[in-house]
Chain A
Amino acid sequence: MAAPGRHVGHYIQRNSRLLLNNFEQLWSPRNFGWTSALRQQAAEANKEPPDTIVIPRKKTWSKEAVLEALSSTVGRDPTAYPYNFQDDPFLSPRTMNEFKMYSLSQESGKSAAKFFINNNPKYFTRDFAEPHIPCLMPETVSLLLEDVSEEALKERINLRKVTAAVEMYDQLLQSGTTISMETTYDLLDLICLYCDRDPVEEGGAQTEEMEEPGEEVRRGRGKVRWASDFVKFSWKENNNAERIFNLLPERDTRCYSALIRGMVKHGAHAKAFSMYTDLLNNRLTADVHIFNALVTAAPDVRDKYNERWDLIAELLSQMNQQKVQPNLSTFNSVLKALRRCGSLAKTQAIHTLNEMKAMGIAPSLASYDHILNAFSKAASSSGAVNTDILQEVMSELEGKSFTCQDPDDVLFFSTAMRICLNNKDLELGYRVYNLVEHGENWRLLGAFYHQGIFYRRFFNLLCMMEHIDVVLTWYRKLVPSLYYPNHQGLKDLLQALDTDGRLDLLPTIWKDIRALGHDNKSELVEELLMLMARDKHSAEVQEAFAACALDIKSVSEGDMRKNTMEWSTSSLSNITSLLLRADKTQAAWETLKLFKSKNRVPEEPLLEDFLSVCCSDGSPQRAVMLVQLSAAFCLSATPKLAKRTLAEFNLTEKQRAVLSELECTGESSG
C-alpha cells in the first residue's frame, strides 16, 4: 500500500528541481510586467533592517461599523422620495411645502408621544426589553425632591426649571445654608442661558426636535428653532442672574463668564463690556468664553468700522496678555464680526485666517463662509464679484471631510454656490458640488431650507450654463429626491430647453410640473404653452403637444378644490392653435368656446388659422359657426372672415344668407 505513495514522493523529490525551474519560468514573464521602479522599491525594502517588527494595533470597531459599511454601499436613491416618507405612500411629498408639512408632522407626532410618556410615567412601567433599553422608558421630567436642600436645587437645575431653581436658591439662602460654588455656577449658567425664563418646553433643548404643534405655523423655516428660540428675550436690568451675582460673597471668573455670555446672548452688549471692565477692576483674568462673547458683541457697541476693528484687535491683544488661548470659536467670532466691518473685512479676514493657521487651529467651514461673505460683500459694492477667493478656498478644502464644529458651518455650501451662480462659473460649481458629495460632507448642508437653497442655486447654474442633456441628467438625479424646484426653477429649465432646441421634451416636463404641484402657476403654464405653440414641429411632436395642451386644459378645468389658474388670452389661443396643428378640430372648437365663458377675446390670426383648417377639413358648417362666433365677439375681422368663407366653401343658401348678412353688418359697423 505504501509503496506507490513512496514512489510518488520519490518522483516528486527527484523532479523538484525541474518543477521549480518551471515555476520560475512561469513567474518570470509576470515579473517582467512590473516596472523597474517597483523592483527598486522592493530591493530597498529588503535592505531595511529586519529587526523592527511593527505589531499592528488591535483594530477596534464601533458597534455601528457593519451598518455604516452597508449604508455606504446603498447611499441615496435618486429615483425615490426621501426615505422617511417611504413607510406611507400617502405621505409622499410632492412639493417643498408638503415635504415641510409631512416631516414636521412626523416629528411632532413623535414629540407628542414622548411628551405623553414622560408626563405619565405611571402608565408606562412595563419593561418588555431584555436587556433593558433606557431610551424606551419614560424620562423623569417632574420634580421628585420636595424638601429644601442643595440636592433639590441641583435637580431643578438639571431639569432646567429656571424659576423653580431660583426660588429654591432663595429659600436655601434664607435658611442660611451655604451652597457650593459648583451649584452656584450651574445656577448662573442656567439663568443666563435662558435669560431668567423657563425654556419653552420641558426638556427644552435637551430633546431633539421637540416641536409643539402650535409652533409649526409660526416657524416657516424648518428646524431653525435654536436660532430664534432664545434671542427673542432681552436681558433685563437686575434680573435674577444679576441679583444672585450681586449677592455672592466672592465672584470669580466663572461667574463673570456666565453673566457676560448671557448678556451677549440676549442683546445687552454694552452691559457685557461694563461687566468686563468690572472684572478687570477686580484683578481677575477673563476666560476664553468671555472673550468670544465680547468679540461677538464688539460690532454692536461701536459705530464706525475701524473703531469696531480696533476694539476687536484690542480684545485679542488683551487675550494674549492674559495668556488665554483662543479657540476655533474665537476666530469664527472675529470673522463673523468682521463681516460687519465694511471695507476692513477683506484684508483683516485674511490676516485672521492666517493667524488661525499659525496658531494651529484648523478653520471650520464657518470660517470660510465668513470670509466668502466678507469678500462678496466688498465686491458687490464695487460691482464685479470675482471667484478668486472661492477658487482659493476650494483648492484648500477639496478632498477633505468635515464635521460640524460651528453652528454656522452649514451656511458655507449655499454661500459658495451663490458665488458660483453670481459668476456663472460652472466649473467651480461642480467643484463645490463634489465637495458636498465627498464623504459625509452632505450632512453639513444644513436644514432642509438651506439644502433647498443650495440645490436651487446649483440647478439654476446648470440651467444657465450647461448643455441640456447634462441638465436633464442632473434634473433626474436631483428632482424630487433632493430638490423640489419652485416655479422659477422650472422656468429656468424651460428656458434651457428652449435654448438648446429640445422643445420636444416639454410634455414630460409638464408631467413633472403637475407632479410638483405647479400646474396652477399661470406664469409657468403660460410660458410652457407659449414655447409649445411658438414653432411648428413634426407631426408626432405636435401630437404630443396637443395631448399635453388638452391635459393642461383639463387640469385647470377639472380641479375645483384648488385655486384654479386664471386663463389668459394668449394661453387659450396657444392651446387652440396647438390643437389645430394636431388636427383636433373638435377639441379646438371646444377651447374656442372657452374664450366666451372666460371673458376673453380671441385674436384674428387664430380665427384665420381656424378657418384654414376648416377649409382643409371641408366643414362649411363649422366655418359658418366660426364666423358667427367672431361676430359675437364683435371682431373687426368678421367681414373678412365671412368673405373668405363665402369664397372658399360650398355653402347652402341658408348659410350664405347668414354670412352675407354678417359681412354687411360688419362692414357697416366697421
Chain B
Amino acid sequence: MYRFLFRTVYTARKSSACVYEACVLPAKCDKAAVFRFANGGGLKALSTSSVSLCEKKDNVASSTEDEKTVAEKEVDPTETPTLVTQKAEDDSTVMKMEEQREEEPMVLKTGDESTTQQEDVKIEQVEATPPEVNTVEAKSGKDSLLDILGGMKVDVTSKRKLRSLKPRQSHDSTHQSKPAAMESTISMFQKATEEASSQSETLDPQLVAAASAAASTLPDSIQAESDLLRQLRQHKAVSEAQKKGDMNNLGDIIAHMKVGKNPDRRLSTRPANQIQFDDDGPGYTHDRGINTELYSARRKKIYMSGKRLNIFSSTTDEDGVESTVARPTLWDVELANELSLSSKQTHRNGLEEMIEWTKEGRMWQYPVNNEVGLEEEASVPFHEHIFLEKHLQEGFPRQGPVRHFMELVLAGLSKNPYLTVQQKREHISWFRDYFHQKEDVLKEADVYLN
C-alpha cells in the first residue's frame, strides 16, 4: 500500500524527491511514540527507502519484528513521520533491517545510533509505533529524533543535489482530520486502494499476532492490543468505504495536494517546510510547468515585497496641480516626440495605415455615429431647427393668409435636414422683406392683417 502510494506520489511530483508521510496518533494513544530506525546499510540504500518498506512487506513471514512493524504501520494512523527518500536507482538493493527497538528506554539510544550513522549518509526510515507510553523520555526522544532527522536531511541534501528531503511533522492537535486526509490520499490511487483494502480486508491472523506481540512489549498489554486491533478494524472499514464511494473526490484531493518547496534548502530543517496533503489555501509545487501561477505567487514574496527607501512622504496634491497648469515646455515637446518615435512601428496592415491618415487628417473619417458631418451644426441644438415660430414674432401679421402661408413655410423648413439654422433664418427673413415690400398691395386687397 505504501509502496504504491509513494510510487504514485513520486510519479506525480517528479521533482519532489522525497515524501514524508504522516499518520496520526489515535486519540487514545498519547503523543509519546517510540521511534525505530530501520537503518538500511549499503551504498545505494539512501535512495531506496520505499523499497525498504516493500522489502519489509515481502519479508513478512521471515521476521516477526518486521511483520510487527508492517502491521503497525499499515494499521495505525499513528503519528508516524515516515521519512522516505525516493529514488529508484536500484530497486533490488537489499535492505537489511536493523534490529528493531520498541521499548521506550531504547529510543534515545536509537537516536544516538542514528546520529552516528548519519555520517555515512544512509537511508532513514522512521516509524512510530503507538504504544501507550506516556513517559517524558519518549517525548524528548521524539524531539531529539526530529532534530536528528533535520540534521540528517541537511547532510543528505548536500550530497544529493537534486533530491531533497522534507521533514514532516504531524500535528498532534489534528487527530481527527488527519486520518481522514490520510485515508483520502490513499484512496486517490486505485491501485493503492486495492492493495490497501486487500491487505486490510481480512484481519490477517498474522497481523493480529503481530499486533499482540507488539502490545505485549508494552506495560499495559491488553489495553494496547485491543487498541491496536480496533484501529486495524477501523482502518479496514474506512478503506473499504473509500474503495466504494470516495473515488469521486480524487480530483479534489489531487488538486489540493501541495508539495512545499523550500527556497533555501539549508534552512529546511524547520518543520514549517513540509509536504502537506491538506486542502486549505493555495499550494505550491516544484513543477513550474504544472502550476506556474502558484509558483510565481510564491516567488513574489522574495523580491518585490519588503522595504522601500522611506525617503518620500506620501503624496500631497498641491504640486501636481501646479505642474499641470504650466504650459508644455520645449523639453516636454521633445520628450513626447522621443516617446512617439520610439514606439512608432511600421504598419502591420492597410487599416493601420488608414488610422494614421485619419489622425493626420488626410482621410475621410469613418462614421462612428449618426451625427457625422455635423461639424458646423454640432453646437446647434435640435429645437433651433424644429421650432421656428419665434421667427414669426416680428414682421409678420398675426393672422390671415400671409400668416397661414408662413406657417406652412415653417413646417417645411422644420422638416428640412439639409439647411443650417442660419439658412432657415435667412429664408424666413427673405419672406419678411418680401411681404414688407408688398405691404401696400396686400393691404389694398385687405389680406394683410396686423
Using a CB–CB cutoff of 8 Å, the interface residues on chain A facing chain B are: 61-68, 70-71, 74-77, 82-84, 103, 133-136, 185-186, 189-190, 193, 205-206, 208-209, 223, 226, 261, 288-289, 313, 316-317, 319-320, 323-326, 348, 350-355, 357-360, 388-389, 391-392, 394-396, 403-407, 409-410, 427, 431, 442-448
Contacts and interface: CB of A to CB of B under 8 A. Distances in A.
B401 to A, nearest CB: 43
B308 A358 contact: yes
A103 B344 CA distance: 13
A375 B289 CA distance: 24
Given A70-B351, A395-B296, 12 more contacts: A65-B368, A68-B355, A77-B348, A136-B362, A208-B344, A313-B311, A323-B319, A326-B312, A348-B309, A351-B306, A355-B309, A396-B300
B405 interface: no
B445 interface: no
A354 B342 contact: no
Given A391-B296, A427-B288, A446-B342, A313 B309 contact: yes
B358 A67 contact: yes
Point out which of A136, A348, A350, A352 has the most chain B C-beta atoms below 10 A from its C-beta: A350
Nearest to A428: B288
B351 A74 contact: yes
Nearest to A261: B331
A136 B362 CA distance: 8
A4 to B, nearest CB: 41
B361 A71 contact: no
Interface stretch (B4-12, B25-33, B333-341, B416-424): B333-341
Nearest to A327: B323
Contact of A354 (B300, B307, B320): B307
B293 interface: yes
Contact of B303 (A77, A316, A350, A357): A350
A66 B365 CA distance: 9
A240 to B, nearest CB: 15
B337 A134 contact: no
Contact of B304 (A325, A348, A392): A392
A84 B346 contact: yes
A67 B340 CA distance: 20
A392 B300 contact: yes
A71 B352 contact: yes
28 contacts: A61-B368, A61-B369, A62-B368, A63-B365, A63-B366, A66-B367, A67-B366, A70-B351, A75-B349, A77-B348, A185-B329, A186-B330, A205-B337, A208-B337, A316-B311, A320-B312, A320-B313, A323-B316, A352-B308, A354-B304, A355-B308, A355-B310, A389-B303, A392-B300, A404-B339, A405-B339, A406-B339, A407-B339
A135 B361 contact: yes
Point out which of A186, A209, A391, A406 has the most chain B C-beta atoms below 10 A from its C-beta: A391
A325 B348 contact: no
Contacts of B299: 388, 391-392, 395
Nearest to A61: B368
Contact of A64 (B316, B329, B355): B355
Given A83-B348, A189-B331, A350 B304 contact: yes
A431 B296 CA distance: 12
Point out which of A61, A67, A76, A406 has the most chain B C-beta atoms below 10 A from its C-beta: A67
A190 B330 contact: yes
Contact of B329 (A135, A189, A352, A354): A189
A71 B343 CA distance: 18
Contacts of A392: 296, 299-300, 302-304
Given A394-B296, A395-B293, A355 B312 contact: yes
B311 A427 contact: no
A68 B359 CA distance: 12
